Amino acid sequence: MTEQMSHQRPKGLAPIAASQWLQIVNSARDTAIITTNPRGTITSWNTGAQLMFGWSEAEVLGQPLDLLFTEKDKNNHQLAREMEEAVSLGRGGHEGWRIRKDGAPVGRGRIDAHPK
């Protein structure tokens, strides 16, 4: 992550520092915020993701995001399709059942991909 986040901000406001951005992401407890590389490997995992899915960040870093997918979606190569869509269109995603560490399904969650 860069030292300063430089998204469009109103004139006169300083960019958000990376440390501030991380504080915001990690304080989100009811929203899972997960980042991956373009191959779908998990690169960050916030507190909300840990509470929702049951895995700690240490357990999932370096794992494929399809860890959260149903067997049907894994067999249909859903992660690869979503990542391909995200790369070609700048955004991808699919609403579907996700799986917790204990094997229990998690609602009809949506995973959005925004490659950078």
Mean pLDDT over each residue of the chain, to the nearest integer: 81
Q: What is the pLDDT at residue 58?
A: 96
In a domain, 41, yes or no: yes
- 22 with 34: CB under 8 angstroms? no
Amino acid at 21: W
H or E, element range at 73 = helix 71-75
DSSP 77: T
45, 40, 89, 24 alpha-carbon torsion, rounded to 10°: 10
**CATH code at 79?**
3.30.450.20
In a domain, 4, yes or no: no
Number of domains in the chain: 1
In a domain, 81, yes or no: yes
In a domain, 63, yes or no: yes
5 pLDDT higher than 70: no
In a domain, 58, yes or no: yes
Q: Print the domain residue range for 99.
A: 31-113
* Tokens matching residue 15: 């960019």
In a domain, 57, yes or no: yes
Q: What is the pLDDT of residues 12-66, one digit of tens each?
A: 777 778 777 777 777 777 788 888 888 889 998 999 999 999 999 999 999 999 9
Q: How far is CA 13 from the centre of its chain?
A: 28
